[in-house]
Amino acid sequence: MQHKIVLIGGPGTGKTSVLDELIKRDYLCMPEISRKVTLEAKEQGIDQLFLTEPLLFSELLLKGREAQYLEAKKANSNIIFFDRGIPDVHAYMDYFKTKYPETFLTKSKLYSYDKVFHFAPWKEIHTTDNERYESFEETEIIDTFLQKAYKSLGYNLINVPFGNIQERTNFIINSLSCEL
């Protein structure tokens, strides 16, 4: 049986660092795709696609995350980790008060995950860069929208404690070995 595990949390909370550690430990992982979408838009002369055309950006994310999910289903792996899931897309749309088609929610219900690990905002590790421009305060607000989106779909969130990358990764793996 295949288990799909998603890592959620606002920008700069340590998800990708833990995902990188999971990759080092030979787990199959699906990376965050928003940076890719952002960089492709920049190559086309659009500096911040999410800010200028949030619906288009979100549609591209939804399409990419759906493709990742379908690719993962074909993989010969018992556990697959995702850096953000499909419900993240409509959570961000809600945060920005942007209207979106019903298909965003439909796909969030259609493609489900077995476990959801939540990374809370952590000021000590939060940074910004060319693709991650949200302040820590914005990250805190985004996090509430993410939690609400997943909880409204019936997910129980497993909070990942603060700690170094190895400790956080070990927590996730140990939680899975106890529950799956």
Output the six-digit token pair for 39.
């960089």
Q: What is the pLDDT, as a whole number, of residue 128?
A: 62
Q: What is the pLDDT, as a whole number, of residue 9?
A: 93
| Strand arrangement, sheet containing 79-83 | 28-30, 79-83, 3-9, 115-119, 157-159
Q: Which residues contact 93 (CB under 8 A, 6 or more apart)?
A: 54, 55, 58, 99, 100, 104
Which secondary-structure segment (H or E) carries 7?
strand 3-9
User: What single-letter DSSP state applies at residue 157?
Assistant: E
Q: What is the pLDDT, as a whole number, of residue 107?
A: 96
The model's pTM: 0.89
- The whole-angstrom separation of Cα 121 and Cα 162 is 10
If DSSP codes are grouped into helix, strand and coil, which group holds residue 117? strand
* DSSP β-ladder status, 3-9 and 28-30: unpaired
Query: How far from the centroid of its chain's Cα atoms is residue 54's Cα?
Result: 17
Number of domains in the chain: 1
Share of the chain above pLDDT 90, in %: 60
Output the six-digit token pair for 88.
């993240």
Place of tokens 């991650």: 132
- The whole-angstrom separation of Cα 6 and Cα 134 is 21
- Which domain range does residue 20 map to? 3-179
Between 98 and 88, name the one with better pLDDT.
Answer: 88
Q: What is the pLDDT, as a whole number, of residue 162?
A: 95
Q: What is the pLDDT, as a whole number, of residue 81?
A: 97
* CATH label of the domain that carries residue 144: 3.40.50.300
pLDDT (tens digit, 9 = 90+) per residue, 54-65? 777 788 889 889
